[in-house]
């Protein structure tokens, strides 16, 4: 931190080196944009950041009240139903927040992209990180639930970053793909919210997989979001080591999504400016 008077001469020197090398630039931009999202999210709310914790917690209380009494989903194969619920919901929320925000990120950054030269991928990627930051806060809610129901936290929890990392990579791929599509076809914006709703119900988030008919259970073995949710439930709820097959499928989905997203985005990004 320099004082204003002293730097008048010093400025001339550093003014030449004001810029980051291109590789470092994007990181700082993403960091600034994520922090902007975060600040704006809870500005002017009394509880502020606490909502990131309270929201999933309250959601879980409502849903577990509804589903365990009316629908009687809580069966023994699940274990602690509230924890089962919150783990599924928060992970799905991460993906759905990331993609629905990422979807409009290029269109939303139109005024910026027309003014300054920025690598376009930072916008969809940044939205995924914003969602991930939010997820980290909901982890606090998860740990509160675990404490309340006295579910032990085992060393298996150390695998959580792996699960999250894969989920984030998967979301980045989707986000890149969708943001590029949305530039050319705004229909995608409307379509995606329907897809997300369908996906919520098609995934055993609040009901046990065992109530599904056989063909649906086969389908779930390839439902990426269910795979990530199962990974997280394995390590936090059921305290079993996820099977190698599960981890491999999670990784394949992440890589495939990223590759597809990257290719589509990269191939069309130079045309974005003409359509936004």
Q: Which is nearer to other proteins, 4 or 150 (CB)?
A: 4
Residues 181-210 that bind other proteins (CB under 8 A): 185-187
Instruction: Quote the least distance from Cβ 72 to other proteins, whole Å.
Output: 42
Residues 17-36 that bind other proteins (CB under 8 A): 17-20, 22, 24-25, 28-29, 31-33, 36
User: Site map for other proteins, 166-185, x if CB under 8 A?
Assistant: -------------------x
Query: Please, what's the b/e burial string for 150-171 (b: 16 or more CB within 10 A of its CB; e: otherwise)?
Result: ebeeeeeeebeeebbebbbbbb
CA 68 to chain centre: 27
Euclidean distance between CA atoms 276 and 258, whole angstroms: 24
At which residue do the structure tokens 């495939």 appear? 256
Q: Which is nearer to other proteins, 40 or 194 (CB)?
A: 40
Q: Which is nearer to other proteins, 72 or 117 (CB)?
A: 117
Contact between 98 and 131 (Cβ < 8 Å): yes
Q: End-to-end alpha-carbon separation of the chain, Å? A: 39
Residue 15 touches other proteins, criterion: CB under 8 A: yes
Residue 78 touches other proteins, criterion: CB under 8 A: no
| Residue 58 CB partners (closer than 8 Å, separation 6+) | none
| Interface positions with other proteins (CB under 8 A) | 1-4, 7-8, 11-12, 14-20, 22, 24-25, 28-29, 31-33, 36, 39-40, 43, 111-118, 185-187, 270, 273-274
């Amino acid at each position: 931190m320099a004082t204003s008077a002293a730097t008048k001469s010093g400025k001339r020197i550093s003014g030449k080196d004001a810029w980051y090398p291109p590789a470092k630039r994007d990181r700082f931009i993403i960091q600034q944009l994520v922090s902007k999202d975060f600040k704006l999210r809870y500005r002017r709310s009394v509880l502020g950041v606490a909502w990131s914790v309270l929201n999933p917690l309250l959601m879980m209380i409502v849903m577990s009240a509804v589903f365990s009494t009316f629908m009687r989903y809580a069966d023994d194969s699940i274990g602690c139903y509230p924890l089962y619920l919150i783990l599924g919901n928060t992970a799905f929320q991460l993906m759905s927040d990331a993609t629905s925000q990422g979807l409009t990120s290029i269109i939303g950054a139109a005024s910026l992209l027309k003014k300054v030269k920025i690598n376009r991928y930072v916008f969809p990627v940044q939205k995924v990180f914003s969602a991930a930051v939010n997820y980290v806060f909901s982890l606090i809610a998860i740990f509160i639930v675990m404490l309340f129901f006295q579910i032990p936290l085992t060393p298996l929890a150390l695998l959580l970053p792996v699960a999250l990392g894969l989920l984030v990579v998967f979301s980045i791929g989707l986000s890149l793909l969708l943001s590029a599509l949305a530039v050319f076809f705004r229909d995608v914006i409307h379509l995606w919210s329907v897809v997300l709703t369908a996906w919520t119900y098609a995934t055993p988030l609040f009901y046990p997989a065992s109530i599904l008919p056989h063909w649906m259970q086969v389908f779930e073995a390839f439902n990426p979001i269910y795979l990530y949710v199962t990974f997280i439930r394995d390590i936090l709820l059921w305290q079993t080591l996820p099977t190698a097959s599960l981890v491999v499928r999670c990784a394949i989905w992440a890589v495939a999504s990223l590759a597809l997203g990257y290719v589509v985005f990269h191939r069309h990004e130079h045309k974005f400016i003409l359509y936004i």
